């Protein structure tokens, strides 16, 4: 089975396991999704949702984040890893969005990655989930691990992994494949001890004996 056929089979099987693949972060608008995604690096979605439940009640617009004293914003997100840098990037992005993009989160990859702290992964998440635009595939630690284990890439670099996945994934599933691999990575194909006997992909996985 070549990788294109394998990828289609992977998607079909995982859709049966996870029939409603969608992002686990809670948000009500594109800017809240941007904030939540920026906060989520090296943190669990469960914890981020707990923090943003209060945060999003306190700050309702890009202007709120742009104007808040930095010490206060840092305190509000202090339970999250790397909160100092994340607070700085969120505020700098808020100010740039106000100044350059008419207070609206931009809808192109080029514009999104011009924001402080935003790389392709975050930009892809914003585009696909907030705007239903499939520009690429979001590659997080789960996607990276599963793509490698499933033999869909030989690379370690997220940008190269993304290119490999885009080449074999139907464009309409670019958003789905990311969600499906993330869900499967959390539940079954875990980093330290994958649960092979419960895996819907066991028979087509070249790493099943690890």
Predicted local distance difference test score (pLDDT) of residue 20: 84
Q: Please say if the pLDDT value at position 8 is more than 80.
A: yes
Residues 68, 7, single domain; the answer is no
3-state secondary structure of 199: coil
Q: What is the model's pLDDT at position 191?
A: 92
Q: Are residues 149 and 196 in the same domain?
A: yes
User: Please, where are the H alpha helices in the chain?
Assistant: 3-17, 30-39, 45-58, 62-67, 70-76, 83-100, 109-112, 120-130, 141-149, 158-168, 174-187
Cβ-contact 168, 3 below 8 angstroms:
yes
Is residue 209 included in any domain, yes or no? no
| 158 and 119 belong to one structural domain | no
- Average pLDDT rounded to a whole number, residues 80-91: 97
pTM of the model: 0.91
Q: What is the CATH number of the domain that holds 103?
A: 1.10.340.30
Is 124 within the bounds of a domain?
Answer: yes
Which of 70, 104, 130 is at the close of a domain? 130
Identify the band that residue 210 occupies on the pLDDT scale cut at 50, 70 and 90.
low
210 lies in some domain: no
Torsion of CA 20, 39, 154, 129, to 10 degrees: 40
Boundary of a domain, candidates 109, 130, 151: 130
Q: How confident is the model at residue 209 (pLDDT cuts 50, 70, 90)?
A: confident
> Residues 102-119: what's their mean pLDDT?
97
The CATH number for 159's domain is 1.10.1670.10
Q: Give per-residue pLDDT as tens, 12-49.
A: 999 999 998 889 999 999 999 999 999 999 899 999 99
54: containing domain: 30-130
Residue 8 inside a domain? The answer is yes
Instruction: Write out the two tokens for 97.
Output: 């969005």
147-167 average pLDDT score = 96
Report yes or no on 113 lying in a domain. yes
- Residues forming the active site: 121, 140
Task: Kindly state whether residues 164 and 192 are assigned to the same domain.
Answer: yes
Residues 42 and 126 in one domain: yes
Predicted local distance difference test score (pLDDT) of residue 68:
97
Alpha-carbon distance 75 to 195, whole Å? 39
Q: Which of 130, 146, 180 is the last residue of a domain?
A: 130
Q: How many domains does the chain have?
A: 2
- Examine the pLDDT at 161 and tell me if it is beyond 70: yes
| Residue 6: band (very low, low, confident or very high) from pLDDT cuts 50, 70, 90 | very high
The yes-or-no verdict on residue 208 having pLDDT over 90 is no
User: Domain check: are 73 and 149 in the same one?
Assistant: no
């Amino acid at each position: 089975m070549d990788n294109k056929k394998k990828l289609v089979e992977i998607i079909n099987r995982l859709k049966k396991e996870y029939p409603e693949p969608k992002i686990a972060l809670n948000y009500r608008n594109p800017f809240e999704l941007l904030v939540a995604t920026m906060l989520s690096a090296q943190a669990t979605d469960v914890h981020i949702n707990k923090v943003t439940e209060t945060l999003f009640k306190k700050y309702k617009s890009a202007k709120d984040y742009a104007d808040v004293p930095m010490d206060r914003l840092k305190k509000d997100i202090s339970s999250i890893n790397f909160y100092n840098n994340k607070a700085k990037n969120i505020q700098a992005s808020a100010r740039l969005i106000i100044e350059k993009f008419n207070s609206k989160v931009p809808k192109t990859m080029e514009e999104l990655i011009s924001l402080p702290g935003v790389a392709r992964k975050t930009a892809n998440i914003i585009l696909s989930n907030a705007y239903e635009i499939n520009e690429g595939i979001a590659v997080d630690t789960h996607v990276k691990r599963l793509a490698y284990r499933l033999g869909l890439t030989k690379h370690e670099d997220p940008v190269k992994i993304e290119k490999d996945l885009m080449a074999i994934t139907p464009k309409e599933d670019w958003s789905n494949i990311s969600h499906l691999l993330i869900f499967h990575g959390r539940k079954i194909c875990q980093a330290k001890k994958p649960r092979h006997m419960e895996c819907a992909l066991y028979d087509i996985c070249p790493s099943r004996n690890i």
